[in-house]
Structure 1
């Protein structure tokens, strides 16, 4: 959606959920990762600040996909107390601009799209990096995002079982219900047992200390570290990051606000050792090289992901005549 001829498009949350499914999100995010690796799309510096109010983090992610002609910014953040108000912790809106004129072309709800594009990112990493014979999926975290992650991951390999751990065990039954719905056995386990069983592990938390240690992870595991990315974030042992073959959406974010930041700081990994996942998608990097290699995808959440799925939502809403329109 790159032109504005009949006013500003407004695409709300319900419409986004109706129009953009897992496959549309997977395709859009995979395409933009590939464009990033080719140099045809790039992210602008992230602004992310603690408000000093409501324990909230607020910021902006933006970028330009020259190949796809998508320009915009996502504004929003993380409000940890939102569950008490019946809201998701992540709140955001995407602003799309016509790259030919700079005019605002669409306002798109970002909450559902953030969840579905984050799940698409880990699913893409599983599709390209996990062993083909992976049977057990490990889930670390059972919040709102975890159900999206589980559904998307389950479509990438012939999993038979889900093992899960969450710091608040009372949240696990919701994830168990999703596993049951898609026909997978579910078991709540300790962190160490999760590492012993899982062939693929997704971490989706807001942790600032390691939840998984290097010695718990078996050879050949693929990890997708998808939790809240900010300065100090840590979901897995930095020595595990250093021992793995690391892939990411954007290297600059990986070593500053992503899972690789601590290993990068102590010098056990360098930015040059981290591979953009787009290079694997484009066939410029082989990805996994053996069945015993530990691979790790550091999903930092780049603005171009949000713009990609928001652009799909705006286009589909416009084509269906379902979007609201307004004049500025």
Structure 2
């Protein structure tokens, strides 16, 4: 069995590695050669923590395993990341544990890669302005990954507390892109691609604020009750997702489904676009929306890539288990 510690991962894997792994697993899901198992997520009644498992099996890549972890709100005071996770990979032929991999950074990387895959396949080719809504820990990963998918000329951003946009401005400057803090009205009027990455219980971005032809990647809604954009905007858009079952129950589509303005049959898997079974964007005026709910197969795909690289570079720790 191999162990790849959290501290080694940043130097091992590139954004292209993550993009390719996530793109491949979305394609496998759409072709029904990969599937996620039911998610377990529970409040454990200690330390205000939420704990759970995401797991699945990709027959094409032979990735079998699970991500175990959750959210400990008191960790920051202890000098630790509030989100804690570990990925366990198993040999699909024997069931033996193949590897244990630190999952904290990988979770951020695979979430950003999912948004990037959606932009690569759904955004207009002439997209020039990238809009960012949210400035938390995940936002910088989103900006780095998505900015590589089009020849953007500018980044505009909004956050409830504008001073927190400094981290995004720093990344934009590193990418050589002008950066501007704007209102939501201004963001929607300018942006050709919008990434939302906030934890919210009420819609932040409204239908009337989004111009025709925009691609939106909604990456923050992964729990029942959460909401980043107005249901009318979801209903107006052509909606794509990682997994339809999660999109309608815990994803951004849940609210439009609940009010009847969107039907399950209206939602397509992003993997179908990757496979060529769905045309994706049909016109320059069409609003497209990716509902990124986050699935266990993403974690397994990027973790497997990390293990291969760690073994190749002699970094993986091998133990008799």
Same fold (TM over 0.5): yes
Matched, 1:211 2:211: no
Asked if 1 retains the 8 angstrom alpha-carbon contact of 2:235 and 2:261, the reply is yes
Aligned to 2:22: 29
Matched, 1:306 2:299: yes
Post-superposition Cα deviations, 1:217-250, rounded to whole Å, max 9, x if no partner, equal: 1111100000141111101001111110000000
Please show how residues 156-171 of structure 1 align to structure 2 within 5 Å. 156-171=149-164
Please show how residues 207-286 of structure 1 align to structure 2 within 5 Å. 207-286=200-279
Give, in angstroms, the shift of residue 53 of structure 1.
4.1
Deviates more, 1:165-174 or 1:36-45: 165-174
Q: Distance in 2 between matches of 1:172 and 1:307?
A: 31
Asked if 1 retains the 8 angstrom alpha-carbon contact of 2:221 and 2:252, the reply is no
Q: Distance in 2 between matches of 1:272 and 1:316?
A: 40
Deviates more, 1:281-290 or 1:87-96: 87-96
Aligned residues: 321
RMSD: 1.2
Aligned to 2:105: 112
Aligned to 2:32: 39
Q: Distance in 1 between matches of 2:42 and 2:221?
A: 13
Aligned to 2:53: 60
Q: Distance in 1 between matches of 2:218 and 2:285?
A: 19
Aligned to 2:313: 320
Q: Distance in 1 between matches of 2:80 and 2:171?
A: 20
Distance 1:53 1:232, change over 3 A: farther
Distance 1:139 1:46, change over 3 A: same
Matched, 1:192 2:164: no
Give, in angstroms, the shift of residue 80 of structure 1.
3.8
SS of structure 2 residue aligned to 1:255: helix
Please show how residues 17-166 of structure 1 align to structure 2 within 5 Å. 17-166=10-159
Post-superposition Cα deviations, 1:189-242, rounded to whole Å, max 9, x if no partner, equal: 112221111110001111111110001111111000001411111010011111
* Alignment TM-score, normalising by the size of structure 2: 0.97
Asked if 2 retains the 8 angstrom alpha-carbon contact of 1:88 and 1:144, the reply is no
SS of structure 2 residue aligned to 1:172: helix
Distance 1:294 1:54, change over 3 A: farther
Q: Unmatched 5+ residue regions in structure 1?
A: 1-7
SS of structure 2 residue aligned to 1:134: coil
Q: Distance in 1 between matches of 2:303 and 2:69?
A: 14
Asked if 2 retains the 8 angstrom alpha-carbon contact of 1:248 and 1:254, the reply is yes
Asked if 2 retains the 8 angstrom alpha-carbon contact of 1:246 and 1:298, the reply is yes
Give, in angstroms, the shift of residue 14 of structure 1.
2.0
Deviates more, 1:193-202 or 1:121-130: 193-202
Deviates more, 1:153-162 or 1:188-197: 188-197
Find the partner of 2:288 among 273, 295, 319.
Answer: 295
Give, in angstroms, the shift of residue 81 of structure 1.
4.2
Q: Distance in 2 between matches of 1:289 and 1:173?
A: 36
* Alignment TM-score, normalising by the size of structure 1: 0.95
Post-superposition Cα deviations, 1:48-101, rounded to whole Å, max 9, x if no partner, equal: 123344443221100000010110000111234433333333210000001111
Aligned to 1:12: 5
